[in-house]
Amino acid sequence: MKLEQRYEGKAKKVYATENPAEYIVEYKDDATAFNGVKKAQIGGKGEINNAITAHLFPLLERAGVPTHFIEKLSEREQRVRAVTIIPVEVIVRNVAAGSFCKRLGIEEGTALSRPVVEYCYKSDALGDPLINTDTAIALGWATNEELSRIRELSLKVRDFLVPFFAARSTRLIDFKLEFGKTLDGTVILADEISPDTCRFWDAETNEKLDKDRFRRDLGGVEDAYAEMLRRVTTPAQG
C-alpha cells in the first residue's frame, strides 16, 4: 500500500509502504532541462521510462549488478527496495557529447579510447556540479570503499548495456546512474535507465533518440521515447 510521500524529484515521486525496507516509485511525465530552466510535459514519458527500467533492471541483476527494483506494479509505478541515495551521480561516457564537448572544446561524436567515468554532486540547487572522489570522501558523501564499488558497478552496467543496445541498432553514447544504500549498508543501483538518463543514437543515422530532442528543440520527443521502448523490448537482431 502506498503511504506518505517521501520524496519528489524532477521525474519521479517516492512513497513509503507498510514495509520499511520497500518504497513505491511513481514516474511522472514532467521534463526539465538546463537545471530546471526549461520545463514541459512529455506525453507518456512516465509510462515509457517505467517500462524501460522495469525491463532492464532484472537483466542487469542477472548480469551481476544488484538493483533496487522488485516489480512493476502499474503503468507508472514500481516496487523497489528502500535505499538512502548516495549524493554522487555517475556519468559514464563512451562517446564525446553534451557538456563534455562544451567543457573541453571537443566535437560531438568524437570517439573515446576508453570509457570516461565522471562524478557530480547530486544537488538541483547547485546544478549537479562536477566533483572528484576526493571531494566526495572529504565531505562525507561516500567512503572510498563505496566509491570503488560504485565505479565497479557502473562499468559493469556499461559492459552489459553497450552490446545490448548495439544488438538493437542503437549506440549508447553516455548515461547517468545513481546508487543507494540499503538498510544494511549495501550499495545497489537505484533510480532509472531511460531516454531521460542516457544518450541513445541510431546506429546507422546517429539520429538522437533521447532527452536531447527536448533539450535542443529537435521535435519528435514522444516518438523517440516510444521508439526506444520498442527497441529495448524487441529481441536482439541477428
pLDDT for residue 102: 96
pLDDT score of 30? 86
CATH topology match: 2-81 vs 86-220: no
Q: Considering the entire predicted model, what is its pTM?
A: 0.94
What does the pLDDT read at residue 38?
Answer: 74
pLDDT of 100 higher than 80: yes
pLDDT for 103 equals: 96
Asked: is 2-81 a CATH 2.40.10.350 domain? The reply is no
- State the CATH class of domain 86-220: alpha beta
DSSP code string of 81-106: E--EE-SEEEEEEEE--THHHHHHT-
pLDDT tens for residues 6-47? Answer: 999 889 999 999 999 999 999 999 888 766 567 888 889 999
Cβ pair 57, 67 in contact under 8 A: yes
Domain ranges within the chain, ordered by starting residue: 2-81, 86-220
**Is the pLDDT confidence value at 238 over 70?**
no
In angstroms, the CA 29 to CA 35 distance is 17
Cα dihedral sign, 26-147-89-229 = negative
What pLDDT was estimated at residue 87? 98
Grid cell digits, residue 154: 557502473
Q: What is the mean pLDDT of residues 174-181?
A: 98
